[in-house]
A and B are shown apart, each in its own frame.
Chain A
Amino acid sequence: MKTVVEGRDIKKYFIASKSLFGKTEYVRAVDHVDIEIYDNSVLALVGESGSGKTTLGRILAGILKPDEGSVLFKGIDIYRDGLTRDIRHKIQVIFQNPDSSLNPRMRILDILGEAIKEIEPTISKDDLEDRAAQLLENVNLHVDHLYKYPHELSGGEKQRVAIARALAVNPEFIVADEPVSALDISIRAQIINLLNSIQKRLRISMLYIAHDLRTVWNISDYVAVMYLGKIVEYGETEKVFRNVAHPYTATLLTSAPLMPKEFRKHEIYPVGEPPSLIDPPSGCRFHTRCPIAREECKKLDMKLEEIEDGHYTACPFLK
């Protein structure tokens, strides 16, 4: 398998509070994480709110510089070597909320046109309209929408426009940051299917960030589960779902509504509330909420161990 994007030992801390005399406190959004996305495959990054998955996604998309570590896109270190315009186009992002990702003062034609002009700066007005119409067609939207403003579109339609814009520059890697969580339940499946078919057809690699495991099963080839800035389980979706090896993943699977029985091997639920990212628990970060925690978990090193071919976990105790 060819690797398209690789994150090596990525660390990103945000300053939470800074006082003149006290010590500076940091939010440990991403804490030394390694991640790989293969060519023509979808990696789902799963975790609850505040686990650092959006931060990691933005770092991999080249829009947020990590404190430590490097991101390689097809072997090029994008933060050290800098992004050329060409590579910039190869990495695109689909945002969570289409209300804020589309400029309310621009027509859909101008929003798409702006992207098209990036790769064809000298395109004529008529050709531009045809290209934009083609892009709308690709995401199953009617050509009439070209002349509308974002507020005249529904949430699902807006997200389709955002997808069309990302596709306009022929990307090879897309970071989809919870692309359906701001949408109505009824249209989520349509958008997921659209992303799925586009990914298959155009052979794009994708990082799909989500907290909803149901959609992950439908769309992704690989899953990485994140908890408090650390990846706790990683592997092929099939293996992770059928043979879950970390109690956090297991609690996610059992808490997800409408999850088929076969994926609910361990009926365990998390205890309490997620701890603060400023002062995360020692040892295994999940031990404060883990239903099967033992004494030694407080000192456990969260190293990923391979338990079967291509399936890694940071917990040696869930059997």
Chain B
Amino acid sequence: MEVRIEEKKRKERREKALFGQWWRIFKANRVAYVSLYILIGITLISLFADFIAPYSPYEFDIRRAREPPSLEHPFGLDEIGRDLLSRVIHGGRYSIGIAYAAVFLGASIGVILGLISGYYGGIIDDIIQRFTDAMLSLPTILLAIALVTVLGVGVTSLIIAVGLSTVPIYIRLTRGLVLQVRNMDYVLAAKILGKRDTYIIFRHILPNIASPIIVQSTYYLGLTILIASGLGFLGLGVPPPTPEWGAMIGRGREFLISSPHIVAFPGIFILITALCFNLIGDGLRDALDPKMAKYIRRGRI
């Protein structure tokens, strides 16, 4: 070989350049950028709840039940006298953890089924699509309630129920995207080179449809927090005394008038977290959209 390559470092530079491009667009969206930091903050606080929470989330003092916020207990005490701040901090672990796990589960199953359905077509496609139709005929929250009823109450069953309820929409989304990419010449070129279907699906198709799926997943993280909280509110979520935000609101709602702080603080956190996910989703959508990438090359951002 006469040709030799000296500058292997170029490789890394190129990779950085592509990453930098969408990161730059994302950063230009201030709202999404701030949301990301708030969310990272909430996630970190939940992760290190054991060290951050000032009190135990389970220890109660029934005599001080429903005490309003004070310096000693910034968020006040709940209906049986547990420190609400500690419960909200620990609750994030469940609420956000359930959301991540459920979306991961739903996306994994939905995307794989969507890839198979879209890529192979034919009878497999028909079967998967009729199954999707059946699942889509129920609203997501009803589907989740139905699943939780079947699976029983608990963290795992909540994750499975919420995760599975998002599967049909992932299948639809992925299948539609695959159909757009499947007939591109680079897929045909890979076939002509003799590449196998699994290679083509994961190397050529998935990377080209990943952006919309990532964006959708971000929105779904927000949505699943709401669904999980909704189930918790209805008493179908995690069993007591586990501090999950939805369940906390559900149990505090009897005292909504006399002690609104019991409902308000978990409510605010559900709101902020879901909102952040949605705002990040908007930012990612703009940043990962190839049409936006053109503007950046023209120097507008």
Q: Is A148 an interface residue (CB 8 A)?
A: yes
Q: Are A134 and B5 in contact (CB under 8 A)?
A: no
Contact A130-B193, Cβ < 8 Å, known A103-B208, A104-B208: no
Q: Kindly specify which of B10-18, B217-225, B243-251 makes contact with the partner chain.
A: B10-18
Q: Kindly specify which of B40-48, B139-147, B180-188, B277-285 makes contact with the partner chain.
A: B180-188
Main secondary structure, interface of A, reads: helix
Q: What number of residue pairs across chains A and B have CB atoms under 8 A from each other?
A: 78
Q: Are B192 and A102 in contact (CB under 8 A)?
A: no
B residues 190-206 near A (Cβ < 8 Å) are 190-195, 203-204
Q: Are A97 and B185 in contact (CB under 8 A)?
A: yes
For residue B11, which residues in chain A have a CB less than 8 angstroms away from its CB?
A: 109, 147
Contact A88-B3, Cβ < 8 Å, known A100-B184, A105-B208, A165-B189: no
Q: Are A103 and B192 in contact (CB under 8 A)?
A: no
* CB-based nearest A residue for B191: A63
A295 to chain B, nearest CB (A): 45
Q: Are B194 and A148 in contact (CB under 8 A)?
A: no
Q: Which of A95, A115, A133, A148 contacts B185 (CB 8 A)?
A: A95
For residue A130, which residues in chain B have a CB less than 8 angstroms away from its CB?
A: 1, 3-5
Q: Are A147 and B14 in contact (CB under 8 A)?
A: yes
Q: Are A169 and B14 in contact (CB under 8 A)?
A: no
Q: Is B207 an interface residue (CB 8 A)?
A: yes
Q: Is A300 an interface residue (CB 8 A)?
A: no
* CB-based nearest A residue for B208: A105
Give CA–CA (A143, B7) in the complex, Å: 10
For residue B188, which residues in chain A have a CB less than 8 angstroms away from its CB?
A: 63, 93, 95, 101
Residues of A within 8 A of B (CB): 61-63, 85, 88-89, 91-93, 95, 97, 100-107, 109, 114-115, 118, 129-131, 133-134, 137, 143-144, 146-149, 162, 165, 169
The 8 closest A-B pairs by CB, nearest first: A101-B185, A133-B3, A105-B207, A88-B194, A103-B186, A147-B14, A95-B185, A100-B185
Taking A101-B184, A114-B195, A165-B189 as known contacts, 10 extra A-B pairs with beta carbons closer than 8 A to each other, sorted by chain A number, are: A61-B192, A101-B185, A104-B208, A104-B290, A118-B193, A133-B3, A133-B4, A134-B2, A147-B10, A149-B18
